[in-house]
Amino acid sequence: MIGLFDSGHGGLTVLKALAGRFPPGKFIYLGDHAHAPYGNRSSEEIVELTRQGVETLFGLGCPLVMLACNTATAVAARRLQREWLPASTWAGRHNVIGIIAPTVEAATQTPWAATSPQYPQKYNTDTIAVLATRRTIASGVYPEEIRKRCPKVMVQQQACPDLAGMIEAGAAESLLDAKIAGYVGELLATCGSVPPHRVILGCTHYPLVEPLFRQHLPPFTRLLSQPGIVADSLEDYLARHPRYLDGDAERAEPTMLTTGEAVEISAALATFWPEHRAFEHLEIRRAATA
């Protein structure tokens, strides 16, 4: 069983891509809607809420949990992997991964394990842009990790405040188009005479409006959208670690859980996955660190 954790709905775009590659019933999705959005919270709060979500999924029988949220990954993944998990009762049998590593791999064409410049990418002088939430941009994780692998690459970032909330609320396409046009315009102005060669859509909500981003970006700019990238990466990871898929009872669909109001949250599900069933409420027991 594999768990996916997100602060809300955005990770459903990743789950939908994964369910197209693997038996859908192998996944449990947990959205921490009761505490969303994470972008307004301190780093310590995000780390603790993410830890509690991961530990809940571990307890539900998921030895592998993916953080299907850029904010949770940017702020909490490293802390959980390096500090919490090795000292916890789950050490050695469980793991937590995020969605930023495969995105950086795709953007730099360099394996995550390579933390120093490799030929030919060490000479790459492209411009890579990142469109994401304010909190993900503020973390600086994308420029940091990209430049480890491609030190000559120019990385431009553009925060897109309110966009994820508008998408989740089902805003009209005309309003979304105007908002995206403004953000892309700001990005291109920052880039100056060198438009970006690649643009990372660094929020899992954004694939739902990818055509609008495409419309306002230069035609030669390549869009890197996370669901497909993450699905490719997980497929490779599971080929090397098949134990995370072995031995599960078969179910027809993913299990969908939320810490929020299940009926209200389910009503918004149509924007992300129209044919899928509703969420179920889960009360997370707020316990001390394992």
Q: What is residue 169's DSSP assignment?
A: T
Phi, psi of 36 (to 5 degrees): -75, 150
E strands, 55-105, in order: 64-67, 95-98
d(CA 182, CA 172): 16
The answer to whether 135 and 202 are in contact (CB under 8 A) is no
- Is residue 160 part of the annotated active site? The answer reads no
The closest alpha carbon to 131, from 233, 225, 36, 232, belongs to: 225
- For 184, the enclosing helix (H) or strand (E) is helix 173-191
The reply to whether 191 belongs to the active site is no
Contact between residue 4 and residue 27 where contact means Cβ atoms under 8 Å apart:
yes
Count the Cβ atoms, other than its own, within 10 Å of residue 182: 13
In eight-state DSSP terms, residue 61 is: T
Sheet arrangement for strand 64-67: 95-98, 64-67, 2-6, 27-31, 255-258, 280-281
Are 129 and 198 within 8 A, CB to CB?
Answer: yes
Could you say which of 62, 150, 160, 203 is catalytic? 203
SS3 of 44, please?
A: helix
Fill in the amino acid letter for 181. Answer: A
Please tell me which residue in 62, 69, 150, 160 is annotated as part of the active site. 69
**Residue 99: strand, helix, or coil:** coil
The residues annotated as belonging to the active site are: 69, 203
